[in-house]
Amino acid sequence: MVILSASSTVRAALDTQPRLPYNPNAPRKVKKIPNGNSFLPPPSPAPSPGISISVADLLKRPSSKEITVDVDDTYMGYETWSPSPPKLEKPRSVFNPASLAFIGDSIYELYARRHFLFPPLSIEDYNDRVRAVVRCEAQYALLNKLVDDDFLTKEERDILRWGKNLGSARTRTRRRAGNAVYNKASSLETLVSNTSI
């Protein structure tokens, strides 16, 4: 049996003034200047002791070392920044078509994002353009163009055939585009990953 004494006190933390949730659209508290009509220019940095060189002289000065970049290592004049994939002799013997299609999908989307990086756009426009290219219908159209123009080698056509037969769970994409379109788009993703690995 538990006996409680009357002299014991119960201590609890009660928040009598709950904190309002963060609202990013709330107006910010701006620090007021004592005299609201006066304009305070930003403080100028103190001159540093030493050599003072004008900006025009800096722009005229030739660079101290020459930078040479291989043409193969650039894309649109910029250095490539994607990591080099591991080289495998026979990726078809190591991976199944579903895993290659998974990797190929990410590689394809990475190149699509990189392609639409210039000119700078709003995020919504950028995302709409990338999604329009990455959709399975667009991949299906690209694959049909490659096949119709006889652009692919016999080995690449074998990879397409191998990648087309992969089976996976039902997705919204299959219901939207159909099984044939989805399977051919997956075969293109398999080809992309197989050629990049």
Residues marked as catalytic:
105
Contact assessment for residue 136 and residue 181, using Cβ atoms and an 8 Å cutoff: yes
Q: Where are the beta strands (DSSP E) in the chain?
A: 74-75, 78-79
CA–CA distance, 132 with 170 (Å, rounded to integer) = 21
CB burial of 68-103 (b: ≥16 within 10 Å; e: otherwise) equals eeeeeeeeeeeeeeeeeeeeeeebeeebebeebbbb
The residues near 69 (Cβ < 8 Å, ≥ 6 apart) are: 79
In angstroms, how far is CA 83 from the centroid of its own chain? 14
SS (H, E, C) 30-85: CCCCCCCCCCCCCCCCCCCCCCCCCHHHHHHCCCCCCCCCCHHHEECCEECCCCCC
What is the SS3 assignment for 103?
helix
